Amino acid sequence: MQSIIRHTSKSKRHFRNEAKQIQEEMAKNEFASAVVRVVVTKTYSGVQSLQVYLEPNRVTLTGICESYYIKQLAQQSVMGMIVDKEIVNDIAVI
């Protein structure tokens, strides 16, 4: 009977850790979605195929635009949201 109780305790701990990981992942996804919304709004949808990659110390923007002005505008538009991380602007100008 003890092994069942011990197993249950481990299962609860496992589920708590899993729930915490899911919450962290959801927060990251929400933040990335907010970054995309800001870039789309501020650049008037000037960046095509926009993607945001979140890393512990870096946020990377990728996509395609038609001018260096739009590329710079995309980066400037998220600077207020991202204060403690490096912003890497890998948006290609074609």
pLDDT at 27 over 80: yes
Most distant pair of Cα atoms in the chain: their distance: 69
pLDDT at 40: 97
- Domain boundary assignment for the chain: 2-93
E-assigned strands of the chain?
Answer: 48-55, 58-65, 86-93
Matching residue, tokens 């197993």: 7
pLDDT at 19: 84
Q: How many CA atoms lie within 13 A of 85 on its CB side?
A: 17
pLDDT at 7: 52
CATH class (in words) of the domain with range 2-93? alpha beta
pLDDT at 52: 96
Q: What is the pTM of this model?
A: 0.80
pLDDT at 3 over 60: no
